[in-house]
Each structure stands twice: as structure tokens, then as C-alpha cells.
Amino acid sequence: MGNKGMTVAHRQDIHFDFSGKKVLVTGGTSGLGAGIANAFANSGAHVTITGTRAQAADYDADLDRFDYRQLDVEDNASIDALADGIPALDVLVNNAGNSFFAAGLDEHDPDVFARAVQVHLNAPFRLVQRLADQLADSTQSGGGAVIGIGSVTSFMGMAVTLGYGAGKTGLLGMTRGLAVDLGPRNIRVNVVAAGVTRSRMTANVFAEKAWSEPTLARTPLGRMGEPEDIAGPVLFLASSAASWITGTTIMVDGGYTVSG
């Protein structure tokens, strides 16, 4: 196909109106989280982002347009402290994650596996539980919204990301259960399952042609994803346009999982 390996220009054409709405994006200092946070801010929202460092100034990126909070998703006390400091909320985006494999750790190790499940499943659940009252009080059309950032590893086995895949797969089941549980409180819960998307976490992996070239060759749209590719579906699911959508997963992967 002639489009293999093509790139896409940075887009600013995601049009939703979240004026005055309060949005929390965990892990919003870079990559997918930054793309999502910027899209919400461009749509008028007051956006709070989290990161692992003590303050926003500790990052190279310009984060002045956001309210910054420190969060360690491996620490339940840190999660509780964050939730206690969020008095009102319309949209929660559970994006914070970590590639233990990319960090050189073996996800077959039971302790590393448990850390991966904590980060990608237990922490998002705890945040939803702790922030449910605030989301239930949302006045936005369509009610409060929770969007989890899932992964293609929920739909296909990848041995090196065993813990990550388990956590992301659990996220799908948790989302369906929470949709039933929280629907009567006017809270919608959905997932955007992201394919391989350009970020700091994937940079080292994509530098290896032995991995990146077959991945792109299998992808019908012929390129890796950009943070903006994920941001659009997230904003849609958070908006009133999706007010009758809950408990579902939108796959955003350039067609990777449907290609043989």
C-alpha cells in the first residue's frame, strides 16, 4: 500500500464545547495524556493533570495551562489524597500508566505483574470509587463521564507485557460492571482502546525496526497513532453526543487488530 509509514500533521480541529467543565486527566504530562489534556483545554475545560513529580516545574513541558497534582498510582494513599482534593468533577480520564517491560523489568515476575495490575486496573477503580460522588453531581449534559485508556493488548496476547495486558483486559470488565453500577447515578463509563501510539513510553520500542516495520505493515492505515488520534474519541465519549453510550470500548488502532 502506498500510504505505509505516512505521518499525520498535528491537529487542532477537534471541536467540542466543554466550557466551564472540570476534567481530570491522570498521567497528563506527556504522550497520550498530554494530547487528551490539551484537547479538553482547547475545548474550554478547566483541566487538572497528574504526574509523579513533586511539581509541574519539574517537567520540561509547558504545563501552565493546567492545574497540576502529584499522583503515584502505585500508592493508594496518594490516590486518596488526590481524590480528597477534587471537590467537583465532570470528566475523569484514567490514563496514567507505565510500561514495566520498556523499563527493563520482567512482567512474568509475580511482583512486577502485581505492580502492573495495580497501575492499570486497581488504581483506576479506586479513583472512580473515590470520585463517584463528584461525578454524580456533574451538571453537564449527559452526566458525569469516566473514560479509561485501554490497549490492543486486551484483545491479543503479548507475552512481554503480561501484567500490562492483564490490567488492561481487566479494565474492560471493570468498565462494563461500573457502567451498570453507576448508570443510575447518571455516570457513564467507557474505554478507548489505544493502538500503538507515539509517546515517550513507546519511543524506544519504535526505534527498533525489527518491531516497528512489521507493526506498520500490519496496520491498514499505515502509520502509528498520534496522541490526537486518541484525544478525539475521548472527547466524544465525554460529550453529550455520547450521552446514551456506556459500558463500551472504542478501538482506536488504525485497524491493527482487524488485520491478519
Domain ranges for the chain: 22-254
* 36-82 tens-digit pLDDT: 999 999 999 999 999 999 999 999 999 999 999 999 999 999 999 99
* 91-122 tens-digit pLDDT: 999 999 988 887 788 999 999 999 999 999 99
Q: What is the pTM of this model?
A: 0.91
Binning pLDDT at 50, 70 and 90, where does residue 5 land? very low
Is residue 59 among the annotated active site residues? no
Cβ–Cβ < 8 Å for 196, 224? yes
As beta bridge partners, residue 48 has: 24, 67
Q: Decide: residue 195, CB within 10 A, 0-12 exposed, 13-18 middle, 19+ buried.
A: buried
CATH architecture of residue range(s) 22-254 = 3-Layer(aba) Sandwich (3.40)
Q: Which helix (H) or strand (E) holds 70?
A: strand 67-70
Mean predicted confidence (pLDDT) in 193-208: 74
* DSSP 8-state symbol, 68: E
Question: Which residue's C-alpha cell is 467543565?
Answer: 21
Bridge pairing between strands 144-151 and 22-25? unpaired
Identify the active-site residue in 59, 68, 164, 256. 164
